[in-house]
A and B are shown apart, each in its own frame.
With several copies, the nearest count.
Chain A
């Protein structure tokens, strides 16, 4: 009767099966809501030639930026990159390939990948470099481009709470890309702050139903803040 208990107890188990050349979809926005321990495990595993699909690529020495140190990433699919010197250097050296994708299109590509929708039309990027080479179709007189979905061999996700069945909830804006990433992995691994007993999560309030999740691991998060901005003492608008 253990078929639905998805909790694993080591990071080795969590990322078991990850191989060179695979595609990894990662949740997170900047350093917010990233699966810190799973990224560290990929670094430990020294897996190479990875295609990583994530809105950003972390910073020098933290988040996905860690995977740049040993040149584990072959290609990034992202909307905004280059917050780190190492990224810039590898890109200029031609050691790293980048496929820039509008943020909303990236989110929708992941969702579509998980939802069995191989392609969708969007006005985003029409007439820009993003639209080059893509099929164009008019709907109600407006041109749209065809974007294809994304799926990954692995999805690595950071959640706040999960039960053993893999039902997840996310905290504040640490939600971001995580729910879509969770749907789009052949193997979806979720690193959580807290594993709660079955029934502790309200069924109608679950962000990621357990059906999408293969493995859950309890993590320990640093939660580094990328841009610490405080209200002015007085008169803040």
Chain B
């Protein structure tokens, strides 16, 4: 069975290591913050200028001057730092953020990602996504394996305008965990009760099944 959004987020969070600095995109990536293993601590970076992002505020804590990159009200943890946008992207572009997790429309076997623009639809902009994919040490893409019409989002070559080139290491979808390496997708893990055939059918780019293929447990 395909994973729920929360299960994807859970699997993402299991990638984190103690002491990691992490930037989480909007949507499923943000949910991952709820599933950080209890024996580790990570610090969240929000690209509008906050390192050490905390949970959403209570009514009493709410402050118009305290928002995250999604423009939502937020809090800061003890030990947080707050800085300007140039400094924030110096961190990101300079490779100081350990993990970036973000959504995508398409990823291809070269590690290219398309996530910001669908020609013919109104384009709102890339925000910080291009900087994040160009700068982070490790990037995890979370998305559904196929679109609602069943078309694969894991392609031989992206068809949409790119967000970044040769930058994606790992994709965590509702069906599988896929590594991008040597111009191939490598199926590392598969969701419970999902068949290899289904993953194959929904992966347009070249897919190699790992010898150590694991079934994800929740």
Give residues in A with beta carbon < 8 Å to B: 1-4, 29-33, 55, 78-83, 88, 91-92, 100, 102-108, 110-111, 113-117, 122-130, 160, 163-165, 167, 170-180, 183, 198-199, 201, 203-204, 206-207, 209-212, 223-232, 236-237
Contact = CB atoms under 8 A, between A and B. Distances in A.
Given A80-B125, A81-B124, A123-B135, A203 B82 contact: yes
Interface in B152-177: 161-165
Given A107-B84, A204-B82, A210-B43, 15 more contacts: A1-B18, A4-B79, A31-B64, A78-B125, A79-B128, A80-B124, A100-B123, A102-B128, A102-B129, A104-B47, A122-B134, A180-B84, A183-B90, A225-B62, A228-B72
Interface stretch (B31-39, B143-151, B184-192, B197-205): B31-39
Contacts of B62: 225, 228, 230
30 contacts: A3-B19, A4-B41, A29-B48, A30-B67, A32-B64, A32-B67, A80-B126, A82-B124, A82-B125, A102-B130, A103-B47, A104-B88, A104-B93, A105-B131, A114-B96, A116-B94, A124-B135, A128-B165, A130-B126, A173-B67, A176-B48, A177-B84, A178-B84, A180-B84, A198-B78, A206-B81, A211-B97, A224-B64, A231-B58, A236-B55
Interface residues of B, number: 79
A1 B40 contact: yes
Q: Determine which residue in B35, B39, B55 has the highest number of CB atoms from chain A within 10 A of its CB, and name it.
A: B55
A225 B125 CA distance: 21
B59 interface: yes
B155 to A, nearest CB: 16
Interface of B: 17-21, 33-36, 39-43, 45-52, 55-59, 62-68, 70-74, 76, 78-97, 112, 117, 122-131, 134-135, 161-165
Nearest to A143: B165
A179 B164 CA distance: 28
